[in-house]
Amino acid sequence: MTGLKTAKFKIVGGKALDGEVVISGAKNAALPILLSTILTDEKVCLKNVPDLADVKTSFKLLQDLGKKCSFEAETGVAVIEGGVTSHVASYELVKTMRASIMALGPLVAYAGSAEVSLPGGCAIGARPVDLHIKGLKEMGAQINLDDGYIKANAIGAGRLHGGHIIMDKVSVTGTENLMMAACLADGTTVIDNAALEPEVEDLAKCLNKMGANVKGAGTSRIEIEGVEKLHGCDHSVVADRIEAGTYLIAGIATGGIVTCCNTLPSTLDAVLQKLREANALITVDGTSITADMRNRQIKPVTVVTAPHPGFPTDMQAQITVLNALASGVSSVTETIFENRFMHIAELIRMGAKLEIKGNTVICEGVTRLKGAQVMSSDLRASASLVIAGLAAEGTTIVDRIYHMDRGYEHIEKKVRGLGGEIERIY
Ligand code: UD1
């Protein structure tokens, strides 16, 4: 871990990326799906599981809870089986991966009680979990906050009951947590104002394969008819739309041509629309998406992040690099998270002309960025710095790349496969 924490990327920029990159399974689908296996003691076999730090943390969490996990990184196949024997998700794990909060719903639904550490603050804002707690209370969980832990008990003879949950705010992991809990609750649960993200849909698909009865995932009203128990299943994790968008932007920023294979293009509509507005030639062929930027100039685009199907906050930092290199002035507004502009100061160090005004970044395009020493602050911020480094003149050193390892599988191999010059140094 210490080795990982001190690792840096050395990037020699200025080469147009050219080639094909195979997109991995989505981190944000794999994590809830892995945690959904808490709901059954039978064998769940998952394919297209990305080899990422957060995935490994999820295995550690499942193992701590008593489950048996095996993972073959080369094939992306994970097998999880056995019942949970503990109902505690420790601070040590939750602090390294906020998504661990999604153990709360399945644990209390399966075991009747759960203790999950409260996630602390994080680099991209306060990120509370009140909606998760409120929803579980609606389903009959008694919840106390004690010693930094959320302690939940199903008071109806150890089982939750159905409820009508109206989410005050659209929350992705909140929707997923409650959807999982509702699968083993007595009666019907309705979640209104549910998140529409494709990862919510993929989780619902997997839950239904396990014998759950979830309807409406991918719409703002999800209905879950609780069942007695769930069984094992096989499932392949949906493609990572954020990883795909990141490589397309890297291709565009460097003036190259990049094809992302194994994608689900319909999950990228808002991103592809902005990339076309930015003057990239985008073509979709089955599960492949190509962005061709050869001999074209980047045009500035106005971006406002929004819940799906709007422009994803997880692509905000990356598209800002395109605006930093565009011919003109534009703006990027972040509406989901406060404090998600940590990459801006670093991009300015590389010669970008960016200015933060409230929750908007005003971008005045420059013709070239220049290599510099920069620091990652979170996962997507680090992706934007790698893109900037690939597009910049000279050498860029990106520090604290452990953030990047949380969400991008085999980055160096993939970037090098496209002709980019990147090396991990210590
Ligand atoms: C998920 C994604 C993350 C993405 C985000 C928004 C995973 C593992 N992570 O994070 O990559 O950036 O969706 O698309 O899937 N909120 C509350 N109370 C709550 C929960 C959330 O106020 O109980 C607020 C948050 O502070 C934020 C907004 O709701 O302002 C949306 O957050 P949410 O969708 O919950 O993000 P995550 O699920 O944590």
Atom of ligand 1 nearest to the CA of 307: 14
Nearest CA to ligand 1 atom 11: 314
Catalytic residue among 122, 183, 206, 261: 122
Q: How far is the CA of 323 from the centre of ligand 1 (A)?
A: 25
The mean pLDDT of the chain is 95
Give the C-alpha separation, 300 to 324, whole Å: 8
Percent of the chain with pLDDT over 70: 97
Atom of ligand 1 nearest to the CA of 125: 26
125 has a pLDDT exceeding 90: no
397 has a pLDDT exceeding 90: yes
How far from each other are the two terminal CA atoms of the chain, in whole angstroms?
Answer: 12
Cα 2 to chain centroid distance, Å, stands at 24
Nearest to 390 by CA among 284, 248, 279: 248
372, exposed or middle or buried, with CB in 10 Å at 0-12, 13-18, 19+? buried
- Strand 18-22 versus strand 421-425 pairing type: unpaired
What pLDDT is attached to residue 202?
Answer: 98
What value does the mean pLDDT take over residues 176-204? Answer: 98
Query: pTM for the complete prediction?
Result: 0.96
| Cβ neighbour number for residue 223 with a 10 Å cutoff | 18
pLDDT band at 6 (very low <50, low <70, confident <90, very high): confident
Specify whether 69 is catalytic: no
Q: Which residues contact 126 (CB under 8 A, 6 or more apart)?
A: 338
Percent of the chain with pLDDT over 90: 91
At 235, which amino acid appears? Answer: H
What pLDDT is attached to residue 338?
Answer: 87
User: CB–CB of 377/349 below 8 Å?
Assistant: no
Cα 368 to chain centroid distance, Å, stands at 30
- Strand 233-236 versus strand 221-225 pairing type: unpaired
